[in-house]
Structure 1
Amino acid sequence: MKTIGKNIRTSLGGLARSAARELFGVLFPPVCAGCDKHVAEPGSLCGTCWSKVRFIEKPYCPVLGIPFSHDLGAEIHSAEAIADPPPFTRARSVAVYDGVIRDMVYRLKYNDRTDLSRWMAGWMARAGRELIDDCDVIIPVPLHAHRFWMRRFNQSAELARYLAGTSKKSFEPEALQRIRRTRQQVGLGLNDRLANVRGAFKASSSQEIKVRGRNVLLIDDVYTTGATVKAATRALKRAGAKNVDVLTFGRVLGDELSV
């Protein structure tokens, strides 16, 4: 009888949750993450927005993840990776940072659309599956305390939190600190970006044990010139990280740095 009662309670609980989801869907129907048109599933894009996304898929540079127009072989590196090898091992991104992808990042960062982080992280999980499988710990690029206070949340930490939760990896948002207040990178050229974040990061002395000898996956929302993730990687390496990979949602390609 106890088993029957338990099964009944479980079934009723499931029905109640299902009814609650249906009611929520009626009151707050899901909308496109790019343009707010009604869609069938939360966190999805309408057909028009989906067609505009330029997903980054193979073939691409095995180091920087820059897409190639032709498959030149798995070990062929991009000119950028050869001329200026990064301190991290691999970088991967979901899609080119323009149009819909830019709008999604903007909504997450500046319009308090933290609900988007769950769906964006899901896309990142698919784009960076190999990196996630190989890592021991997931760490977001941190905000300076002042900017965190102004924004109230760290978008990179929200993405990292969902990635760690779904992959069952260790999530360590306090392992890396931004110790120097920097200007926003938006609108800065390459040299200014590099100078802006030089020495801006440090692994927390009390948290170094969570980094030392481990494979780290560093999470950020957008890869522009790589200045930020390179500076953060160097700080993690100084703390003893064995390896650092980078995973972002958007990736700027070409000479456009006004993001």
Structure 2
Amino acid sequence: MSLRNSRPFLAWRAFAAAWRWSPGSACQICATWQRDAVCGTCRQRFRHAGHRCRCCAVSLVGLNEVCGRCILRPPAFDHTLTAFDYAYPWDGLITRFKFSGACELAGPLADLMSDALWTAAEQTGFEPPDVLLPVPLSAARQRARGYNQAWELARRVGPALEVPVQARWVERVLDTPHQTGLPRAERLLNLRGAFAVTAAGRAGLTGRRVAILDDVMTTGATLDALAATVRRAGATAVQSWVLARTVSDDAAP
């Protein structure tokens, strides 16, 4: 009999599950040994709370609710919620998760995102969406990376916030070049015609309030293009949910 099938091991596992206990791990930021992947001290210390544009979530100074760019050129989405700024230490964790195959960070990052979105939703009082759509990757990009980071977050955040997740209602039909370092105008040009709604999506999006989830918002071009696509398919309102928002449009991941 293997250790994992032994009676003492099975009893220990049942006890741990019942009490939601885990043997602990080193905090991914400060390396303190504790229960969670990111300790409570680091969550509080690096939460980057502040006043943000209601529309695109960029940090604002003053009492304005919407930034100047969103006033001049309103995006196709109505509202953005973010967990934190794309800055230390979150930028390093997201880079590992997105580009270095560290898919094990999806759970801890999704937990942080869920907590932050719950708080933001309570503060703003807006209505929850009917459905959550992860930003799709092209088939070639997903094969190269091995997973879609937006889906890995969405499939955990959706259930935590009690919002159904649909990964097959939209697809990326153009394998656009990497957006890193490009200004917003070039990003928008790259993304023209990049997204399409599937047959299931056309049936499901009509009259729905939608949230689109991505890992990082830089200029908002990707979310803007996808939001416009789902609006043309009949969505009545579109929110953007992002793990992190860059401090400025030049701080591209």
Shorter-chain TM band: 0.7 to 0.9
Match for residue 31 of structure 1?
26
Match for residue 108 of structure 2?
119
The 2-side partners of 1:52 and 1:182 are apart by: 37
What per-residue deviation string (whole Å, max 9, x for no partner) do you get for residues 190-232 of structure 1?
2211111111001112332221111111000000000000001
In structure 2, the CA distance between the partners of 1:217 and 1:23, relative to structure 1 (3 Å rule), is: closer
* Native 8 Å contact 2:22 2:35 kept in 1: no
Which structure 2 segments of 5+ residues have no match?
Answer: 1-8
TM-score w.r.t. structure 1 length? 0.82
Match for residue 53 of structure 2?
61
SS in 1 for 2:159: helix
* Native 8 Å contact 1:56 1:93 kept in 2: no
CA-CA distance at 1:38 after TM superposition = 3.6
In structure 2, the CA distance between the partners of 1:23 and 1:233, relative to structure 1 (3 Å rule), is: closer
1:241 aligns with 2:238: no
In structure 2, the CA distance between the partners of 1:50 and 1:24, relative to structure 1 (3 Å rule), is: closer
Match for residue 82 of structure 2?
93
The 1-side partners of 2:252 and 2:227 are apart by: 23
Q: Which entry has the higher C-alpha Rg, 1 or 2?
A: 1
* Native 8 Å contact 1:224 1:257 kept in 2: yes
The 2-side partners of 1:193 and 1:34 are apart by: 32
List 4+ stretches of structure 1 deviating above 6 A. 20-24
The 1-side partners of 2:79 and 2:40 are apart by: 31
Which structure 1 segments of 5+ residues have no match?
Answer: 1-11
User: Size of the alignment, in residue pairs?
Assistant: 239
SS in 1 for 2:199: coil
How much is the aligned-residue C-alpha RMSD, in angstroms? 2.7
- What are the within-5 Å matches in structure 2 for residues 77-226 of structure 1? 77-129=66-118, 130=121, 134-226=128-220
CA-CA distance at 1:111 after TM superposition = 2.6
TM-score w.r.t. structure 2 length? 0.84
* Native 8 Å contact 1:52 1:99 kept in 2: no
What per-residue deviation string (whole Å, max 9, x for no partner) do you get for residues 1-55 of structure 1?
xxxxxxxxxxx97753335899972xxx5122236x24312221485x5576252
Identity %: 27
Aligned residue among 14, 18, 41 for 1:17: 14
CA-CA distance at 1:80 after TM superposition = 1.7
Match for residue 251 of structure 1?
245
In structure 2, the CA distance between the partners of 1:218 and 1:174, relative to structure 1 (3 Å rule), is: same
